[in-house]
Amino acid sequence: MPPLTPPPDAHPRAPKLGVPAGAVDTHIHLFGPASHYPFHPDSKYVSQDILPEHAIALQDTLGLGLSIVVSGGGYGRSYQHLADVLRRFPDRFRGVALLPEHVSKDEIAMLDRLGVRGARFVSPQHGAHFPLLSSSDLLERVVAAGWHVQFYPHRTDLPNFKDQLLSLGTDIVLDHFAHIPAEGGVSQPAFRCLLEMLDSGRVWVKLSGPMRCTAEEPPYPRVTPLAQALVRHAPDRLVWGSDWPHVNMSGRTMPNDGDLIDLLLDWAPDEIARHKILVDNPRKLYRLT
C-alpha cells in the first residue's frame, strides 16, 4: 500500500496581499471521493478526499476566482475524474490532463469543451509510466487541438528537452520553476536555459511549488532570487500556482496557502507585475473569457 500523503493545512489564512479580482491559481490537484475514484495501482501515494468543494472554499479564502486542476499521478493516465469535476463546476475550474497514449481526437475535443486547455508531460526521471515527450503521436494530437504542452522537467535536465519543446509549434508551460534546484542559483546552466526559452515568446513558467525546488522550510528563501529574476526577465510569461494540496510532504512542514500567495509580495513587488501573473497571463494562457 503506498503511503497516505499528509493533508493540507486545514486553516488557510486570508493573505496580506491584495489579491486582484479574477486571480487564478494555475496548479491544484483534487482527489476523491475514493469510493468512486480509486487510486491507480502504480500511484506513489494515496490521499484523503480532496474535493472540489474544498478547493472552492480555499478560492474564497484566498480571494481567487478560478483554479486549474492538473491531473496528478494518483489516477495514472485516466482523465475521468478531471472530466467529472469540470462538468460539475464549469465556473470554478479548468483543467490540464494526463492523457492515455491512444486518446482519440474526439476525446480531446470533448475534454476541450469541458475546459481542458493542456496536456501534461514529464521528464522520464519522474516516471516512465507518465506521458513523455517521446510520445510523438500523442504530442501531435495535443498540438493539433490548440492545447499547450505542460512539461515537468527534473532538476537540471531542462536543457536536454529545450530544442524539442521549442519545435512543437505550441505554447509550453513549465511546472514549478521548471523544477530547477534553488541551491544552484540564477547562474546555473539550467536557469540560463530557462531564460533563453522564455525569450522565444512561447514558453510560460509557473511560479508554483517552491518546496519542489528546495528542501528548505517555508518561506523557501533560496527560491526568492530565482523568482525575482524570472519576474524581471519575463513578467508577461509567468503564472502563479499554489500546488495545493501539496502531496508527498511527509516529514516536511505543510505550508499555509495564505503564506504561499503572500510570497508574491517578495517575488513580484510591483503591483502591475503581480496583476499580470495572477490575472492577465492566466486569462490568455487558459483562454478564459
The residue type found at 270 is D
Instruction: Write out the E strands in the chain.
Output: 24-28, 66-70, 93-97, 116-122, 148-152, 172-174, 203-207, 238-240
Q: In whole angstroms, give the CA distance from residue 44 to residue 39.
A: 10
Is 243 labeled as catalytic in the residue annotation? yes
Number of alpha carbons in the 13 Å side-chain half-sphere of residue 60: 7
Find where cell 493545512 sits: 9
Place of cell 503564472: 239
Q: Are the C-beta atoms of residues 197 and 176 closer than 8 Å to each other? A: no
Helix (H, G, I), strand (E, B) or coil at 143: helix
Q: Nearest 10 degrees: CA dihedral of 3, 74, 156, 140?
A: 160
Q: How many CA atoms lie within 13 A of 185 on its CB side?
A: 1
Contacts of 40 (CB under 8 A, 6+ apart): 73, 74, 75, 76, 78
The string of DSSP letters for 92-111 reads: TEEEEE---TT--HHHHHHH
The DSSP annotation for 197-259 comes to HHTTSSEEEEE--GGGT-SPPTT-TTHHHHHHHHHHH-GGGEEE---BT--S-TTSPPPPHHH
Among 243, 257, 262, 270, the one annotated catalytic:
243
Find residue 24's DSSP bridge partners: 66
Instruction: Extract the C-alpha cell encoding 112.
Output: 476541450
Task: Supply the residues annotated as catalytic.
Answer: 243
